[in-house]
Homo-oligomer: A and B are copies of this chain.
Amino acid sequence: AGDVKAGRTKAAQCAACHGIDGMSKLPEAPNLAGQTEEYLVKALNDFRTGERKNEMMSMMAKTLSDADVANLAAYYHSLGKQ
């Protein structure tokens, strides 16, 4: 499983849209706080491979390593249990 602290550092690049607290800053960006880890990993990997497409996320996800994906999923999952 991912490293929450490393995920928090990496999440700086996600925060403008998804919030550093995982609460959306834009209506088209989903809340991520407390999301299931498995779903978050799949979403990021689908954007990385192109299986899922979104103008912003397809670009952002391409910069992520497997470890980044695991860490980001662990971090956002850890936040604010709904």
Contact = CB atoms under 8 A, between A and B. Distances in A.
B51 A51 contact: no
Interface residues of A, number: 21
Contact of A38 (B22, B27, B52): B27
Contacts of A82: 22-23, 31, 33-34, 80, 82
B39 A24 contact: yes
Interface of A: 22-24, 27-31, 33-39, 42, 51-53, 80, 82
Contacts of A23: 82
A23 B33 CA distance: 12
Nearest to A38: B27
Output the residue of A22, A38, A80, A82 with the most chain B CB within 10 A. A82
